[in-house]
Amino acid sequence: MQVPCRQPQPRHPRPDGTGPPGHRIPRRRLAALACVTALTFTVSTSAGTGRLAPGASTAGAGPVTLSHTSAHGPCMIRSAREVQMSEGIPTSAGYTRSTGTVRALTLMIDFSDAPGEGDAQDRFHEFFPQTRDWFRTSSYGRLDYRPETPIPGWLRMPKSFREYGIERGAPFEPGYRALVEDLVAAADPKVDFRAYDLLNVLVTPNAGPSALDTVLSVTFAGNPEAPRADGKPVANASFVYSRQDDGSGSYDRTGYRVLPHENGHVFGLPDLYTAEGGGAVGHWDIMSEDWGANNDFLGWHKWKLGWLDAAQVHCAASPGTTEYALTPLALAGGSKLVFVPLDRRTGYAVELRTRAGNDEAVCRPGVLIYQVDAKVDTGMGPVTVIDSRRDSGGCTRAPNVHAELSDAPFTPGETFRDAARGITIEVAGAGAVGAAGAGGEGAYRVRVTRR
């Protein structure tokens, strides 16, 4: 059943962040959104052919399988009706599912006024296999992300890049609609769109301005009003433009990270930076900062995406004091997240972050505490990290990593208090604890008290 739809909104600019000497990271636009509709498909395709296997059903959007019990009920915060892309759990229908095998149709496109330079497969390999590996690591192997290129070369669009009128802040209508329609018409002879769960459009990097000046990369997610291809809307599509190369010499290692960020939107995750930049969350989630050193998703996002089991998430909703053992978020197994609900819309999340897995920029391991607010829309600050060392300047000088929040985690002996709500979160130390969570080497004990 289709729900009333609003025009997909463009991403709004964010201020520059500081890069290496002589470089400034440009403003990005907030996720372009549409309303969502309930679409249910299953996946069974012939990999790499662009055609369905005999007797197979179509791929497409589907509900996220969220692991929870009745005890998690108070922690499943919900968004307000007017919020288009929220931190609420469970994620609304219409986005691409984020567990199991997900097939990503990946097309490299160029234009008469911006012809593709070199081999289109070189453009593909700027993002793969790195993006696939990033999702495998972040999901503990629960997301099998498979990029496919049934058209291996450049796919020429019938209009010039200039004619589409694409610029920073461009809405879906009319330019992106025309581009998607032309892309579908050009690819359809060789592609069965029913075989895929999402679309990646890797635009030739010489189309549009340098990313150092203006970031055009954008995602239109959960959009049932998108042009149709082989009977289904192209509802979840990410577009990547010029290279996010800050001149620091790290592009070969970090330049791909714009795509996991954009794909985060097709899985239903909001932008965590705000109009003021990345100061709300810093480098603790790729939905906040996707330039610079590698980083991971927050534990809240991993639960939202279906990557954590119910036993790995603890809902601290009852009065009294309970102690939990948290294991490093980057490592598989063990307790990963404690959530302290404040009301039906918001609460505090607690997790252990260390330098491992995708988290290569962590300079002060410890317990990260942040507030999640499901009534705040994408790009407006739905998550706020609590800084254990305000105005310290941080513990990193890595390029394009928000320094001030880099030392935000709490360490053993430190306590966060919300006196107004009667909440205390204490990092009690390291080591195992009882039934509230199995500990082990590297675990931290966290004590939560509610009045």
143: helix, strand or coil: strand
Q: CB neighbours of 404 closer than 8 A, spacing ≥ 6?
A: 279, 282, 387, 391, 392, 393, 394
Which domains are assigned to the chain? 17-60+93-267 (3.40.390), 300-450 (no CATH)
- What are the pLDDT digits (tens) for 371-428? 999 999 999 999 999 999 999 999 999 888 999 999 999 999 999 999 999 999 999 9
Q: What is the chain's mean pLDDT, rounded? A: 86
Q: Give the mean pLDDT of 261-273.
A: 96
pTM: 0.86
Q: Which residues pair with 148 in a beta bridge?
A: 105
Least confident of 62-66, 74-78, 95-99, 244-248: 62-66
**Across 154-169, average pLDDT:** 95
Give the phi and the psi of residue 272 in degrees, each rounded to 5.
-105, -15
Q: Which of residues 28 and 56 earns the better pLDDT score?
A: 28
Q: Which amino acid is at 339?
A: F
Give the residue, 1 or 81, on which the prediction is more confident.
Answer: 81
Q: Is 107:202 a contact under the CB 8 Å cutoff?
A: yes
412-451 in b/e form (b: 16+ CB < 10 A) is eeeebeeeeeebbbbbbeeeebeebbebeeebbbbbbbbe
Q: What is the mean pLDDT of residues 198-211?
A: 94
Mean pLDDT value of segment 76-82: 90
User: What value, to the nearest 5°, has the Cα angle with vertex 287 and ends 117 and 29?
Assistant: 60
- Percent of the chain whose pLDDT exceeds 70: 83
Write the CA distances from 147 to 95, 124, 140, 201, 292, integer angstroms. Answer: 18, 9, 18, 11, 23
Check whether 100 has a pLDDT greater than 80: yes
pLDDT at 213 > cutoff 90: no
Residue 212 pLDDT grade (very low, low, confident, very high; cuts 50, 70, 90)? confident
| DSSP codes of every residue in 100-139 | EEEEEEEEEEEBTTBPPPS-HHHHHTTTTTHHHHHHHHHT
- Closest-CA residue to 339 (of 307, 371, 380, 367): 371
At 137 the pLDDT is 98
CA–CA distance, 110 with 378 (Å, rounded to integer): 30
| CA 45/CA 150 separation, integer angstroms | 13
Q: Each residue of 355-382: pLDDT tens digit?
A: 999 999 999 999 999 999 999 999 999 9
AA identity, residue 248 = S
* pLDDT tens digits for range 30-47: 444 443 333 322 222 222
Q: Which of 448, 193, 177, 198 lies closest to 339 in space, CA to CA?
A: 448
Is residue 2 over pLDDT 90? no
